[in-house]
Amino acid sequence: MFRKTSITLLAVTSLVFACREDGLIAERFIGAQSDASAEKKPVENPVASVADDAESDSNADTQPTLAVANDTAISQQEVPPAESPEQEAPPAGSPDQEVPQVPSGSFLPSITAITVTNSKGDAPRKGDALKITFSLKNDSPSAGEVTVFSNLSGLRFTDFNNVPLTDVKVKLEANSSHDVTFEVPVFLEDTAKKSRFALGRGNYELKTKLSYGSEVKASPKSTNFEIAEGKGVFALAMYDEKYFEVGDAKGADPEAWLKETFTRKGSIFYPESGTKQIFAGGFDEMMGIEHHIKAVGGLDSRNTKGVDIFDNPEAFATEYLNLNQKWAHGSGPSTNKHGYDYFIALDKDSFGGVTFGTAQVTGAGISGDFSKDRMQMLIVHESGHVFGSPHCDPIQGFIMCSGEKNKAYKADGEYIWHEDSFKKMKNLFK
């Protein structure tokens, strides 16, 4: 149990675990944790096709945030200064602004196709970065430069709307065609709105606009595509810097520390046969998942003003992601989390850990043991709860019930899971 505060539970939506050095303290209640958000708008075509979209969006003036991966014809557009919506003028070519006549024979670019795949060229799955290709042509004897604006909406999510992607400039020769390609990583940031997102499963709409000349914009284009189920699990990891000032965590890179935690060697013990199945890739390999960690410092684990241990990290996550509503630990992954699945809070001033639905808080150490093996065991134990495992007490010597007592752990730091624990876990975040 954390020594800072007691846990007050407000809603019967999930499973709560509080842990201490000898394992179980309390499982407060059990209820259904479900992904209650309905798919807003199922879209059948998994990989893009261009569609005319007469409906104009208003985000063409948002700032580019993502790196352009290739294509020497692309250059970053200059970033305009951030302005509040009340201050900004309508973007050139928007319905609010009169579009001047284009002189005959002048530069006339258009998008002929949009393709969205993963980096290998296949249909994207959760955990994949996207590769987006715009096929452009210029049906004019005049060369020119065009800027492609694009933004992304996740139709499965309630709060993933018009996230701006990289704006790219392309020079087109007279009567020519040209493809431009750029990558979109799994973690996105809208710097103008100070909002962060992750590319979860579901259907997406990609809108584009062209800007060329001084004031002219082409008709907008849009396409729909799907990110299918995949191995990716998106964890927001908030940490108190003091966590990385103690024991074997001292000086460690937070994302590398957590990546190591979920990929260090482990095994499942099958008591009936007395055998064990080894996973060199650790928890991730055992669960058939791949953690993607977004780590952010600045969590003040001394702040105990909240009503329970989750209040502080939930407020931090809400502000960092710029959520419309406070992160709700008992809710499913498609609601109010900007595509993130769950969070990990590394809390220096506490010990042990506690888990509730899509949130887990892990302290820096326990029983004065600040070894890497033990500190990382606390984290993976709490994530075991996130994925559905209760404690396996009174059995002892396994990750969900005092894994530090296992001989194999003592010998070489191997994390041993009891078969019963493994059977109760599943990837809730496909």
Q: Which residues contribute to the site for Zn ion (CB under 5 A)?
A: 17, 19
The nearest distance, CB 389 to Zn ion, in angstroms, is 9
CB of 82 to Zn ion, least distance (A): 43
Task: Select 17 or 340, whichever has its Cβ closest to Zn ion.
Answer: 17
Residue sitting closest to Zn ion (CB) = 19
| Shortest reach from residue 25's CB to Zn ion, in Å | 8
Residues 6+ apart with CB under 8 A from 217: 60, 91, 92, 93, 94, 99, 209, 210, 211
Rounded Cα distance between 119 and 132, Å, is 9
Q: Please list the residues that pair with 236 across neighbouring strands.
A: 294, 343
Judged by beta carbon, residue 166 or residue 421, the one nearer Zn ion is 421
Q: Which is nearer to Zn ion, 192 or 286 (CB)?
A: 286
In angstroms, give the least distance from the CB of 23 to Zn ion.
Answer: 7
Query: Which of 354, 352, 327, 362 has its CA nearest to residue 342?
Result: 327
Closer of 21 and 255 to Zn ion (Cβ): 21
Q: Nearest distance from residue 242's CB to Zn ion, in Å? A: 23
Strand bridging mode 51-52 / 221-227: antiparallel
Amino acid at 244: F
Check if the beta carbon of residue 158 is closer than 8 Å to that of residue 137: no
Task: Return the beta strands (E) in 58-201 as ranges.
Answer: 74-76, 109-118, 130-138, 144-154, 163-164, 168-172, 176-184, 187-190, 195-198
Tell me whether residue 339 is exposed, middle or buried, using C-beta atoms within 10 angstroms of its C-beta: 0 to 12, 13 to 18, 19 or more. Answer: buried
Q: Is the Cβ of residue 17 or residue 134 nearer to Zn ion in the bound state?
A: 17
Distances (CA, A) of 376 to 260, 262, 369, 371: 8, 9, 11, 8
Minimum distance, C-beta of residue 28 to Zn ion, in the bound complex (Å): 12
* Minimum CB distance to Zn ion smaller for 157 or for 269: 269
Judged on CB neighbours under 10 Å (0-12, 13-18, 19+), 10 is exposed
Q: Kindly report the number of other CB atoms within 10 A of residue 251's CB atom.
A: 7
Closer residue to Zn ion, CB minimum distance, 16 or 192: 16
Q: Give yes or no for a contact between 18 and 391, defined as CB atoms under 8 angstroms apart.
A: no
**Residue indicated by tokens 């249909």:** 123
- What does the angle CA 211 – CA 146 – CA 166 come to, to the nearest 5 degrees? 80
Between 17 and 356, whose beta carbon lies closer to Zn ion?
A: 17
Query: At its nearest, how many Å lie between Zn ion and the CB of residue 335?
Result: 25
218 - beta bridge partners?
Answer: none
First to last CA, the chain: 30
Scanning the structure block, which residue is given the tokens 């876990």? 425
Q: How far is the CB of 367 from Zn ion (least distance, A)?
A: 15
Q: Pairing state of beta strands 359-365 and 342-351? A: parallel
| Contact indicator for 223, 206 with CB cutoff of 8 Å | yes
Q: Pick the closer one to Zn ion by CB: 19 or 299.
A: 19
Tokens 């979920």 sit on residue: 262
Q: How far is the CB of 294 from Zn ion (least distance, A)?
A: 24
Measured from the CB atom, the residue of 19 and 287 that comes closer to Zn ion is 19
CB of 288 to Zn ion, least distance (A): 22
Closer to Zn ion at the Cβ: 19 or 237?
Answer: 19
Task: Quote the least distance from Cβ 168 to Zn ion, whole Å.
Answer: 48
